[in-house]
Every structure is written in structure tokens, then in C-alpha cells.
Structure 1
């Protein structure tokens, strides 16, 4: 078997698995009453934008391209580089190391192609709005998206190197610092360099450098276990997003040999000095929450989505979005609390007691206040500076 044939085989199995998950979640009732009306509404609104109308047409006229900065920053943080490696591939590394390298290289080209399709589709969809409200030339408009594509591939390369390197504080901090520098550079290009015609060469140079560095990284298989773990996580990402609303999820396995202590581990040892049934439930929730990156990521994505809406939408709509976010954040925190405390890990303490419900309401209020204050600060800054 050649590397190309192995790549297409893994790609077929990957998308077949995602399609089966999609079929499990989206049955005919969900498709008929939710998916199809939402798709029709999106197409209708896009047609309205073409005619100078629509829900966000007035917001685009007031904000100009200010909302594009937030949306581009969110897109820069998305995406990943596939490897399509499996745990069983470790058996074939002794005799077929070149096959694994070719598989990773084809997967790299596939990931770069997906990133190109994403930014190209965004440029085409936003073209009608740019034609009405944009103040830059067509070469500068296309060069801006070419430059964003280059920054995106560079961020993907940095994330890949950070995840495959040793999990030390210095390496992780250096990786995140590089990502912040790249995002600051992308922001500078959009805001201050919209009329410069060297956006095209800048994007091409970034893409070539990031692709070359990632291509060189496929020659080594020293981070094989990390790449397999990351690929499995990406494969199950859609299924995990569906299971976010399910209570039938167990506590995270803290005995995984590849799991290192989180950065906030020392600070979570002693949360409450006074011990009681009330503080025991709260301590259990906050300790598991801050030690599990998946739970933090769910709250982060929810907060980031509403923050982007608050920054983009007009002033009169911001209070309604803040109230909606306060309700949604409390509901999401309640799902996490019930999921974490689902198992009888605290012996002798009943879940139907008054202490449990007091601890639940207190923990939910803390999460709700933190998220609401963050979005309130974002709303105030958007009113003052946008």
C-alpha cells in the first residue's frame, strides 16, 4: 500500500465516522424543524444583504469593518493539522516508517487545503458587504484574505509544535506568546495595511514558511503518542460537542499516564478552610472544573461567542444579549455541575440534601457572575471605542 492510498483510506473512514455521528444527532424531525428552516433563513438573509437589506445590514453600515476584526480573530484560533495516525500504526513503524511520513505529509496538504477553502469561501461571502461598505480596492481586499490565510497557517504550525514539544511551562508559554504575536500582526495588517499591495507577498511568505516548517516536522516520529492522542481528540470533537448537553458523562480520568498536572493544580488543593457538606460539593465542582481543560474550553467557547456578538451588534441590542448570556451561562454551568457530581464520590453526603442545592446555586452564581462581568466589560469597551 502506498502513502497516498493509505491517506485516502483514512480520510474516507474519518468522514464516514463524522457522517454517522451527524445522522445520529440530526434525525428527520431535527432536520425538518430546525436545520432546514435555519438554512432557509440564512439564504434569505444573504439574498437580502445583496439587495442592501437584512438584519445585520444596518449594523454593517454603522460598524464598517469593525466586526470583521473580531470574526477574523476567532477564525484564526480555529482549525488543526491532521495526521490520521492510529495507535496500531506503532507496530508498522519499524518496517514502514516512510509510509507514515507520506501519510502525515498528505494529511498536511489536506489540512492546508481546508484552511484555503475556508478563507476563500469567507472572502466570497463577504464580497457583497465589502462592495457596499468597504473603502479599499479589490487587490487590497483579496490581499487581506491572502494575508489572513498566511497568518492562519502560521498559527496552526505554532500550535502543532507547541503540542508536540515537552509540556513544560517555558515551552507552552513561548508557544502561546508566538500565537499572540501572530494575531497582533494579523490585526495590524487588517487595520493599518488595507491599502498596501504587499499583503499578497506577505501572506505567501507566511504560508511557505509555515508549510516548510510543518513539512520538516513530518520527518520525525518522536511525538507519535501526542499526535495520535490529538488526532483521536479531533476525530471525537463533533461527538464531544453533542455530548456537552448530556448528563451521562463520567468524571475525567485522572490516572491517564500522559496527563500532566495543570497550571492551577497547586492553587486548587485548599479552596475552603472550613469543611462541611456545603463546601464539599463546591470544592468538588471547582477542583474538577479547573483541572479539566475540556470543561474550561466549553465555558470559554460559549463566552467567546457571546463576546463576539456583543462587540458586533448595535447598542440597543447589547442589553438583550447580556441578559440572554446570563441565562445561557447559568444553564451551561448547571449541566457541568450535574455532570461532575453525577457519581457518588462523596460518601455519606446525599445529593437530594439542602446542602447540595445550596452549593449548586452558589457555584452556578459564581460562574454566571464571572462570565457576565466579562461580557459587560466587552460591551462597555465596544461602546467607547467602536
Structure 2
């Protein structure tokens, strides 16, 4: 009887929190979905969309017939990527819920069941949209579609629990790296069986059983986790505020989040350059501020990667000109970053002379772009001269030195003209 009472209490608590969550979401959306929105936007959209869907079902257009099979097999992957485990944890649970392991397990299992139900609904919705492609064009049977839905649902549940575990155990760059690796692993393990055995329900059953076993194993790991309460409360708070943030995204001004985490690079306040003149000190501070911000470093890496791929695909005749254009483009972004840093209150409180500012901009621009210049020179040399082309890193850096001095001179001339005016 005691266990029944505990289960009843846990179930009542879960139902109350679930009811309160949907009441909050409805109140948020009710402020935006008044009768004018329903009459002039939503109902006409549903009418037109429903008519278009029925027309595609009865008369599939040519573009739908020409789509390859892998298009319909890969689109449901979005459900695998968006799933999030709901635990309905609150900060006040630390007072009593964590002291009763049966209560915590009961809430977690009910949250997992709710997450699975929501993901099943989303999976069925995606396949309902794709029904004209699978049934009207490729004539899939009902058993095949049900098997594909169950398979996608299993992998979506795996992704939801797995991402929840990663949120609690990693932070910073490691969390971004591990989550990216997990997304790639989920995509590979989902797509390979779907592409090869998606049209055969019998062959897709073993991957479904493997997925169900993996989901049960991850859920068991989640139930035994002892250091995930703070992460669960943060994720639940974001889930409750998701609708409000979406509706007010263009109304409320976002305040920057203050993170007291050690940077990945240059963690200690040591000098980079030996000189103590003004332009060296100012340039060093801005370079440190740049390198210590992971979003900027990630953008820097992405630009170099995309530029390198584009340069490799460029004909050898125009490669040097494309490399110079990429250097100029990159230097423009670095200059805008320098101007933004100079406008911050910390740097603005110092009265730097104009000459010091210009030379510091050239120093920042040089050191942040010189690795790209060397990479671009090496790519151009390899394509033109083979292995000996690796030595082209030297002329690439020399060309960048000349470009950087010209850009600095141009800034100096433009500033003089502004002062004279």
C-alpha cells in the first residue's frame, strides 16, 4: 500500500506539472493568436495548404516524381536532431524530491514516456507530410511506412536522452565537439539502415530492436546519474520559456549572458610580445580578447576552412587573385572586430593617440590573418608546383605583409581626410 501511495503521489505531481506547462504555453500563444490572426492568416493557410496537399496526393507533380528516394529517407532525420528529454525538474526539488530516489525515478520515467509520446507525434507528422512521396509516387505499403516510423521514433528517443546526458557532463568547447560527434554518429547509424533496408520491413526490424536496446541502456544511465540535476533544471527552464522567447524575439532586447569560464586558449595573463610601446600593448589586448572568445575562434576556423575548399576548387590561373581577395575580405572582418573592441567601455576609457590606434589595428590584422595567408599560399603552390609548392607559404606571407601595410596606409589617409573636413 505504501508503494501505491508513493506512485500515486508521484503521478499526481507529474500530471500537475504537465498541466501547468501546457497552461503556460497556451497563455503565451493566446496573446499572439487572436481572432484576426486566425481569420486572416491561420485558417486561409490551412485551407490553401490542405487543398495543395490533396492535389499533390491525387495528381503528383513532375518535380515530386523526379526527386530521388534518399530525399524522403533523409528528411525524417530532423526529428532525430530536435528531440529533447523532458524531466520536469524544478529547483525546489532539491529540498525533497532528490531525497526520495523512488520519486526521482518515477518523475524521470514519466518524463521519458512523455518525451517518447511527443517524438512519436512529431515523427508521424513528418511522415504524414511525406505520404504523397512514399505512397502516391513510390507505392510503399502500410507495413513499410509503419516500420519506418517506428525506426525513426527509436532513433529520436536515443538522441533525446543522449543529448541530455551530454548537457550535464560537458561544457564549453568539449561539449560542442562531443555534441557534433554524436550528431554525426546518430546521422550515420540512422541513414545507413534506412537507405539500404528502408523499403523492407523485415530487414529494418533488427535495427529497431538495437535502437530500443540502446534507448533502454541510455535511460538506465540517466536514471543512475547523480550530477545532472542542475542541468535538468536549466533545460526545463529553457523549455518553459521557449514559446515566450520565440514570440518576443523581436521585441525584447537580449542581454549578453555572463559566463565565468576559463578560456580555451591564453588562459594566463602572460605577455605575447616583448615590446612595451602603446601599439603593441593595445594590439596584444585585442588579440587576447579575440582568441579567448570561442565564437570568434569558431568563425575564424570556419572562414579558413571554407576559403581553403573554395581555393582548391579554383583554377590555378586565378588562384593567387582569389587568395588576395580572400585576405582582403578577412582583413575587413578583423578591422570591424577591432573597431568594436575599441568602442567597448574598457578600451574607450584610455585616450590612445591616433597613431597608436592605427598601428595597433595593423598589428591585430597582421597576426590574425597571417595563418590564412600562409595557408592560401601553400594551397596555390601545391596546385601549381606539387610538393615544392609548400615553399609558397613564404611569398604568401610576404604578400600579406604588403597588403596589410597598404590597408593601414589607407586607414591613415581616410582618417586624415576626416580630420581635415
TM-score by length of 1: 0.63
Instruction: Point out where structure 1 has 5 or more consecutive residues left out of the alignment.
Output: 267-272, 297-336, 350-386
> Is residue 218 of structure 1 aligned with residue 202 of structure 2?
no
1:122-146 superposed Cα distances (whole Å, 9 cap, x missing partner): 3344333312212655433332222
Distance 1:116 1:208 in 2: 17
CA gap of 1:264–1:28, structure 2 versus 1, over 3 A, is: farther
Look up the SS of the partner of 1:2 in the other structure.
Answer: helix
CA gap of 1:167–1:248, structure 2 versus 1, over 3 A, is: closer
1:72-103 superposed Cα distances (whole Å, 9 cap, x missing partner): 23222112110101001111146433222211
Aligned match of 2:258: 253
> Is residue 46 of structure 1 aligned with residue 53 of structure 2?
yes
Distance 2:81 2:17 in 1: 25
How far has the Cα of 1:7 moved from its partner?
0.6
Look up the SS of the partner of 1:82 in the other structure.
Answer: coil
> Is residue 2 of structure 1 aligned with residue 6 of structure 2?
no
How far has the Cα of 1:265 moved from its partner?
8.9
In angstroms, what is the RMSD of aligned CA positions?
4.2
Distance 1:248 1:171 in 2: 27
Trace 1:300-379 onto structure 2 (pairs within 5 A). none
Aligned match of 2:23: 16
1:24-51 superposed Cα distances (whole Å, 9 cap, x missing partner): 2223333332222222222121121222
Aligned match of 2:193: 189
Paired residues, number: 296
Distance 1:41 1:286 in 2: 51
Look up the SS of the partner of 2:89 in the other structure.
Answer: coil
> Is residue 108 of structure 1 aligned with residue 115 of structure 2?
no
Find the partner of 2:147 among 123, 143, 150.
Answer: 143
Q: Which has more radius of gyration?
A: 2
**Between structures 1 and 2, the one with greater helix share:** 2
Find the partner of 2:69 among 53, 65, 70.
Answer: 65
Look up the SS of the partner of 1:77 in the other structure.
Answer: helix
**Contact 1:81-1:107 at 8 Å conserved across structures:** yes
Distance 1:239 1:285 in 2: 33
> Is residue 204 of structure 1 aligned with residue 209 of structure 2?
yes
Look up the SS of the partner of 1:248 in the other structure.
Answer: coil
Aligned match of 1:86: 90
**Contact 1:85-1:227 at 8 Å conserved across structures:** yes
Aligned match of 1:352: none
**Contact 2:154-2:212 at 8 Å conserved across structures:** yes
Distance 2:256 2:40 in 1: 34
Distance 2:63 2:279 in 1: 51
Instruction: Point out where structure 2 has 5 or more consecutive residues left out of the alignment.
Output: 1-7, 268-277, 300-336, 350-421
Distance 1:127 1:152 in 2: 20
Find the partner of 2:102 among 65, 87, 98.
Answer: 98
TM-score by length of 2: 0.59
